[in-house]
Amino acid sequence: MEKLTKIQTLLKLTFGLVPIIAGADKFTNLLTNWEQYLNPSIAGMLPFSAHTFMLIVGIIEIIAGIIVLTKTNIGAYIVSAWLVLIAITLIASGKFFDVAVRDLVMAIGAYSLAKITEITTANNL
């Protein structure tokens, strides 16, 4: 079971820190221009700019990452669902299928973290 807790720790750090970093980058666009990934149909329905939407997304991602680090049993499910929703919007836009596939794979990893956390919590590891 010690190996399982090491895997859990690695996944916890990954799915805690990556959303925090990606969320913070929504404010700087150093990694990429995040607005390019916004489905134009969604952008057209927003009562504010795409940039403002991305800032809101950034805040949500930072909070989700913090929840993974502090309440992994809940946060991992949140991040998993968030990644699936992102993938669905990318697929619906008809672009960035590669990113959608990557996000679905990451969602599976976050879901796996949630299940591993359930096991380690049940066994008091």
**Domain extents in the chain:** 2-122
So what's the pLDDT on residue 71? Answer: 98
Query: CA 36 to CA 96: how far, in whole Å?
Result: 10
**Angle in degrees, CA 12, 106, 65, rounded to 5:** 40
CB-based contacts of 110: which residues, under 8 Å, 6+ apart?
A: 11, 15, 68, 76, 77, 79, 80, 83
Give per-residue pLDDT as tens, 63-89. 999 999 999 999 999 999 999 999 999
**Pairwise CA distance, residues 47 & 58, whole Å:** 18
